[in-house]
């Protein structure tokens, strides 16, 4: 069968290759993959896997052989995989614990995109109520950032999306962002150049989920927050310009 495997050469982080069909254990289901979810983090860190290994975690498909021990969904069930290794292949043997049933009316392509990025954003944003709060999402153009903008807006927050450049801002307002910025100095608020109090003054007592997708946006968030503000670091796809002293 065909799969995307890790490639340590110049061609790129992954390449198509023919690999053996997986043989599920008694506690695994065999899933025919219809869609996979690509994200920058997985491609950026492909080098951590051995060359030739089937890569990827996010995917969606249909159970073609249920687990023989009776656990998990039956044959024919539409499922999404979350944090299941070696998922970027035509068929995958996977534990039912790593499967989620895709509801009717939800496209499998959408289900494949939810895995790492969608769940990461959801878990961070569920830490507290967002109704009527101001939320800053840095790295908003990335996978986690896109979900964070949508979920925060749906939860009733006033969302400001911070991106590294204007060409990364497309579609964020349609996803629910009230403001899309490349620099916090673009606002009507005044900030000092060291960012010592800027974020804390604009978002006092507010949540600040921070998918870290660009050094230029990450470096503004760790400093200057009031003791009552909150920052959540939930992604590290790019190398930060500065590490935060604390992050929750």
Q: How confident is the model over 87-119, as pLDDT tens digits?
A: 999 999 999 999 999 999 999 999 998 888 888
Judge contact between 222 and 244, C-beta under 8 A.
Answer: yes
Rounded Cα distance between 148 and 100, Å, is: 20
pLDDT at 87: 93
Domain range summary for the chain, segments of one domain joined by +: 2-118, 126-236
Q: Which of 19, 43, 46, 45 is nearest to 33 (CA)?
A: 19
pLDDT at 189: 37
Rounded Cα distance between 214 and 223, Å, is: 16
Rounded Cα distance between 52 and 16, Å, is: 10
Residue ranges, the chain, pLDDT below 50: 189-228, 240-248
Fold of 2-118: Quinone Oxidoreductase; Chain A, domain 1 (3.90.180)
pLDDT at 105: 94
Tokens of residue 35, six digits: 């869609």
pLDDT at 195: 27
Judge contact between 33 and 94, C-beta under 8 A.
Answer: no
pLDDT at 147: 92
Provide the CATH number for the domain formed by 126-236 in this structure. Answer: 3.40.50.720
pLDDT at 44: 84
- pTM of the shown model: 0.73
Q: Which residues of 6-24 are buried (b: 16+ CB within 10 A; e: fewer)?
A: bbeeeeebbeeeebeebeb
pLDDT at 236: 54
pLDDT at 202: 39
pLDDT at 231: 52
pLDDT at 209: 43
């Amino acid at each position: 069968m065909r799969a995307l495997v890790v490639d340590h050469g110049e061609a790129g982080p992954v390449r198509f290759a023919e690999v053996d069909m997986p043989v599920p254990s008694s506690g695994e289901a065999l899933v025919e993959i219809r869609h996979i979810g690509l994200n920058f983090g997985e491609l950026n860190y492909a080098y951590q896997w051995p060359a030739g290994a089937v890569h990827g975690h996010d995917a969606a498909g249909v159970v073609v052989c249920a687990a023989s021990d009776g656990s998990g969904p039956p044959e024919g069930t539409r499922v999404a995989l979350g944090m299941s290794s070696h998922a970027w292949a035509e068929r995958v043997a996977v534990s039912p614990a790593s499967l989620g049933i895709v509801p009717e009316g939800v496209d499998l392509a959408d289900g494949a995109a939810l895995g790492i990025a969608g769940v990461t954003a959801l878990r961070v944003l569920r830490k507290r109520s967002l109704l009527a709060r101001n939320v800053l999402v840095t790295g908003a153009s990335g996978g986690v950032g896109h979900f964070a903008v949508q979920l925060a807006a749906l939860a009733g927050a006033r969302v400001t999306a911070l991106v590294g450049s204007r060409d990364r801002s497309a579609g964020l307002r349609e996803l629910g962002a009230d403001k899309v910025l490349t620099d916090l100095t673009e606002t009507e608020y005044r900030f000092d150049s060291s960012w010592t109090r800027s974020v804390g003054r604009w978002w006092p007592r507010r949540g600040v989920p921070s998918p870290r997708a660009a050094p230029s946006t990450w470096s503004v968030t760790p400093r200057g927050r009031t003791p009552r503000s909150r920052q959540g670091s939930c992604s590290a796809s790019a190398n930060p310009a500065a590490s935060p002293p604390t992050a929750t």
